[in-house]
A = this chain, B = another copy of it.
Amino acid sequence: MPVTSPAKLIDADRLWARHMALARFGAREDGAVDRPALSVTESEARAQLVAWGREVSLSPFTDRMANLFLRLEGRDPSLPPVLAGSHIDSQPTGGKFDGAFGVLAALEAVQAIAAQGGRPLRAIEIVAWTNEEGSRFAPGMSGSEVFTGKKSLDEAYASRDQAGILQGDAVRDVLSRDVDIPLRDSGFPIHAYIEPHIEQGPLLEAAGVPIGIVTGIQGTRRYRVKVTGEAAHAGTAFRAERRDALMAAVRMIAAIDRATLKPDDTKLTVGLFQVTPNAPSVVPSEVLFSIDLRHPENEVVDAMDLRIREIVEAERGPCTVELKQIAHAPSLTFPGEIRSLIVAAAAGEGIPAMDIYSAAGHDSRQLHYVCPTGMIFVPCRGGISHNPAEWAEPAHIAAGAKVLANVIWQLAR
């Protein structure tokens, strides 16, 4: 086996062209990508990935969550493989790089390793996890959660999208469209997992540094709050007699917003707000809204959790309220052994790198608990993500793939 750096064989133009090609699956007129988890659109993008993998003799596999794997066989197929990738589902008005970069960088890195000739000792697998975003089936990361055993297949299958479709049925739909992709069991042993991703924050760009060595992921709690009142006629029901679910929800959200402004790195988002019956002249009988709470310190998240529970009770008025925590992920720190490999890989290529904290959650959060895991960040313009304006520079994309190629080569050779 040659011991030269596979980073030298990264084809930056091909890597960029694949980003633009993948972004056409679900492309919106405003430049955004709308590629819901387990949709026909995602299934078509998945077929494109498989086609690219087959061109360089990678073997596709899938599992009962429709996670997609493209395997470069190792000299010893019995050893746990090195895994690298991310996801290809998007938010409803998502960008071209969130998730896609991790999968395409892994494909390019594996292609570079294969191009060296010979084989690594361990197999290397590119992975695209199902439903990372959670905007179609909540909560997200169901693909990696089932793979790592955190969630049962039955529980994941029972989640429904807003149209009432079961995640299980959507998985079966995607699998039925697959052509010659063998089904494997989930949860096989993994030697290490590396996930490249755009930063989705402004720090790398501000520092002018193309590579972030991710130290950890901030803690998060997610909730669904259901406020139940009573429908009434907008013209006849007196205010004092109403049980207006929307006004109660509005009071709760305004109070939660005010209560979580400090410390100022607290992230509090109400992204989902559904009204029943949602008609202009009917007092709403029910509101369902989401809360997404994140902060790097577990103590801050826990204290705000208590405050949120107090507020929804205090502001419900004549309505009833039900608060359900649907996800709780404490802050985590990635192991030093993987971070050191990323530091060395960047240094070896002469690419500036710095430590950085991940404010966003990623599938690496799940893999962290079953194998040595790390993340490589590249800058994105203005820190903007989940937005049509999301953008990463071709040179940064290529730098990320180069560092990844050397890291997984070190792990697999």
Q: What is A's interface to B at a CB cutoff of 8 Å?
A: 91-93, 133-135, 138-140, 199-201, 218, 220, 222, 230-240, 244, 246-247, 250-251, 253-254, 257, 261, 264-285, 287, 290, 292, 294, 359-361, 383-388
Contacts and interface: CB of A to CB of B under 8 A. Distances in A.
A42 B251 CA distance: 37
Q: Which of A133, A236, A277 has the most CB of B within 10 A?
A: A236
Contacts of A93: 231, 276-277, 282, 285
A220 B284 CA distance: 19
A239 to B, nearest CB: 6
B92 A279 contact: yes
A294 B235 contact: yes
Contacts of A360: 233, 235-236
B271 A283 contact: yes
Contacts of A238: 264-265, 267
Contact of A91 (B200, B237, B277): B277
User: Does more than half of chain A's interface fall in helix, strand or loop, or is it mixed?
Assistant: loop
A278 B271 contact: yes
Contacts of A251: 254
A280 B232 contact: no
Given A135-B282, A235-B292, 12 more contacts: A230-B387, A231-B386, A231-B388, A232-B387, A233-B386, A234-B269, A234-B292, A234-B294, A237-B267, A250-B253, A271-B280, A271-B281
A38 to B, nearest CB: 15
B279 A235 contact: no
B232 A386 contact: yes
Contacts of A270: 246-247, 250, 284
A244 B254 CA distance: 12
